Amino acid sequence: MNETLVSTCQMFLVPLTILFAAVGVANTRFVKLLVCLLGVAIAALWIYRVWLWTGLSLLDRRTGVGLAGLFAFCWVLTLLNQLKSMISQR
């Protein structure tokens, strides 16, 4: 696997993992919502970065987009859960 791609994936993976913990310890629903929005944005940037990367092999590109896509999917589900929770609270 391309070493630069590994470093790039780690650059996105670490903050996204830390943000998952931040959702759990956030005090208010608004802060949780902001953390979820940040997580979705970072995951989208990760997908964008790997998708437009020139010079990657097809296998490396699929692996990078797949990993980023899994995190994006989890963040979107978390965001939708927070939105549902905020709406039902009213």
pLDDT 10s digits, 10-63: 999 999 999 999 999 999 999 999 999 999 999 999 999 999 999 999 999 999
90 has a pLDDT exceeding 80: no
Instruction: Of 5, 38, 7, give the one whose Cα is nearest residue 20.
Output: 38
Instruction: Give this prediction's pTM.
Output: 0.90
Res. 89 pLDDT band, cuts 50 70 90? confident
How many distinct structural domains can be found in the chain? 1
Tokens, residue 3 = 């070493």
Q: Are 82 and 30 in contact (CB under 8 A)?
A: no
Tell me the residue type at 10.
Q
User: Which residue segment(s) compose the domain that 25 sits in?
Assistant: 3-89
Q: Are 47 and 69 in contact (CB under 8 A)?
A: yes
Give residue 2's pLDDT: 87
DSSP 3-state of 55: coil
